[in-house]
Amino acid sequence: MRNIVLFVFALIFSLSLPAVADADSDLPAEFIAVSESRMTWADAKAWCEQQGGRLPLVGGSESFDDTPSPGTPLEGFGATGGPWPVGLPSDSWYWTGTERSIFPGNSWFVFAHDGYVSYGASQSGTFRVACVP
């Protein structure tokens, strides 16, 4: 009976987790996991930690207030204004781990227009997640 209860608990718990990209997919080497679902910034940070990684940083920093110019380093994505990573789905926006201290509660996100970083979005919004080691 105990095994059945544990199995049901594990099944319910696993169904509540966000979907992860198929391990056999062409996931770029820069990323350790990519979500198929969208989540808030706090959930994205926690999810990346569960995967053994973290959200990518803009300019190598957890806080970046200036508008990133083309060529600003963007972990996993190369640099702003650069080509989109081959194999990373480009049909969504992705969270970064970089906040905007001048706009509390906002973080930068990336979209598939040549890897540009967009202006900060409310951390309560939902975007896809790509985790770096």
Residue 54 has pLDDT above 50, yes or no: yes
Asked if residue 72 is part of any domain, the answer here is yes
Number of separate domains in the chain: 1
Mean pLDDT of 44-62: 96
Compute and round to an integer the Cα radius of gyration of the chain: 16
Establish if 58 belongs to a structural domain.
yes
Would you say residue 60 has pLDDT above 80? yes
Position 30 in a domain: yes
Q: What is the pLDDT of residues 4-49, one digit of tens each?
A: 333 333 333 333 444 444 343 567 789 999 999 999 999 999 999 9
CATH number at residue 66: 3.10.100
In a domain, 89, yes or no: yes
Q: How far is CA 82 from CA 4, 13, 75, 85, 121, in A?
A: 51, 39, 12, 9, 21
Which run of H or E residues covers position 117?
Answer: strand 117-122
Over residues 105-125, the pLDDT tens digits come to 999 999 877 778 887 899 999
Structural domain includes residue 6: no
User: The whole model's pTM is what?
Assistant: 0.78
